[in-house]
Chain A
Amino acid sequence: MGLINSLGRWGVKKLSSLGRATIMLFYSLVGKPQFRKNFAQFVEQLYVVGVQSISIIVVSGLFIGMVLGLQGFNVLVDFMAEGALGQLVALSIIRELGPVVAALLFAGRAGSALTAEIGLKKATEQLTSLEMMAVDPLRRVIAPRFWAGFVSLPLLTLIFTVVGIYGGKLVGVDWLGVDDGIFWSGMRASIVFSDDILMCLIKSFVFAIVVTWIALFNGYDLIPTSSGISKATTNTVVQSSLAILGLDFVLTAVMF
């Protein structure tokens, strides 16, 4: 009996937090647009969320591309098929690694920071004071951060993809001696803009919504204590990583 009781309590708790998350997103996004009023906040968040994540994105993109080039070359050279290296690197980065790894890094770098910031705002009752001044904290605090995440993750994914492909080219063509023309022509022959690159962008937009939403909700809904903030930050990273990997499978199965 106790087991069923606790299972039910768990289910009700999860469902009501999902409901709260949806209500939060709804109230922060739906309504009269206030572009001019919140534009400064939006730009500031674009800096915090997007620009400050560039270094980690570029460095990991470079190394992932280089490792793909190296490993792919070692296998392909046995079959005299190192001409397919460009294809291998570009396909794997554009279809899977680009959107997924960029989103994972984004969740770790920007998502946790968002949660902690909003959590501290809540713990120090800054959100309540905004409400006292008749400023809606959802519109003022949550919405600009959501849009900043929504815009920056696809941009970061594009940067990651390009840097990764050039990393693979650096190892494959410049160091290991694969022919430059074959590298690019194989890649161009196998990648279709409307298929692969558009799917990559769709994936990263979906991941952007999910990661930012999870991060913001965990911050907005946490128990306002120091241990609550640490728990919410951990939750953000764990939940968004799982959501990214699960959704990636679903999106791949649907689209390809």
Chain B
Amino acid sequence: MKFNKLEFIVGCFVLAGIIAGVILALNVAGLTLNFNQDTYKVKGYFDNVGSLKLRAPVKIGGVVIGRVSNIYVDPEKLTPVVEMEIQVNYNNLSSDSKASILTAGLIGEQYIGITPGFYDEDLGSTYLKDGDVLSDTGSAIVLEDLIGKFLYSLQSSGDDSAKKE
């Protein structure tokens, strides 16, 4: 078969277009072709995850150590579960570390902040490993709840002062 340069270049063009379409689809569908497996998975049960998104960062003191890999509702407990992938080189986290959902700035994105726990072998604490569940969690602060609590406390304190008078 004779090699036709024109046909070859046109083939490359069509292929480039198709690849562009696939990249778009993958970006949108969020299917990450991730080949580095050097992470371990940890779960945490939260009361409320707020507007935490997939692939949001997991941080210790502001340093990114992993990403949120899955958010779903536990079918039995009916509470939200957040799965995190933490890089393998941070494998010396104590199992009583606390994970809380925090917000960057007033209207910024939400992320998970980990407060490292105390490690003492005599008290039976272990390092976190793949598949562990973080028992100590802090939920996202929902502004409406906060305002509701504030109004409620304002009202009740107003009642108290009325009774005193």
Contacts and interface: CB of A to CB of B under 8 A. Distances in A.
Contacts of A151: 14
Contacts, number: 99
A185 B56 contact: yes
A159 B16 contact: yes
B13 A46 contact: yes
Nearest to A197: B24
Interface stretch (B74-82, B99-107, B121-129, B153-161): B99-107
A250 to B, nearest CB: 24
B133 to A, nearest CB: 23
Interface in B5-28: 6-7, 9-10, 12-14, 16-18, 20-21, 23-25, 27-28
A171 interface: no
Interface in A179-193: 179, 181-182, 184-189, 191-193
B63 to A, nearest CB: 12
A170 interface: no
The listed residue with most A CB atoms (<10 A of its CB), out of B24, B29, B53, B55, is B24
A185 B107 contact: no
Given A83-B108, A158-B24, A193 B29 contact: yes
B30 interface: yes
B44 interface: no
A44 interface: yes
A175 B6 CA distance: 39
B42 interface: no
Q: What is the interface residue range for chain B against chain A?
A: 20 to 34
B57 interface: yes
A148 to B, nearest CB: 9
A159 B106 contact: no
A146 to B, nearest CB: 16
Contact of B24 (A44, A47, A161, A182): A161
Interface in A229-251: none
A161 B55 CA distance: 23
Contacts of A197: 24-25, 28
Contacts of A59: none
Contact of A188 (B9, B16, B54, B67): B54
A240 B138 CA distance: 58
B20 A81 contact: no
Interface in A80-113: 80-81, 83, 90, 94
B109 interface: yes
Nearest to A84: B109
Contacts of B12: 51
23 contacts: A43-B7, A43-B10, A50-B10, A50-B13, A51-B13, A54-B16, A79-B107, A151-B14, A159-B17, A162-B20, A165-B27, A179-B109, A182-B55, A182-B57, A184-B27, A186-B109, A188-B27, A188-B30, A191-B28, A193-B25, A193-B28, A197-B24, A197-B28
Interface of A: 43-44, 46-47, 50-51, 54, 79-81, 83, 90, 94, 151-152, 154-156, 158-159, 161-163, 165, 179, 181-182, 184-189, 191-193, 196-197
Q: Which 5 A-B pairs have the closest CB atoms?
A: A155-B17, A80-B105, A158-B20, A83-B109, A185-B55
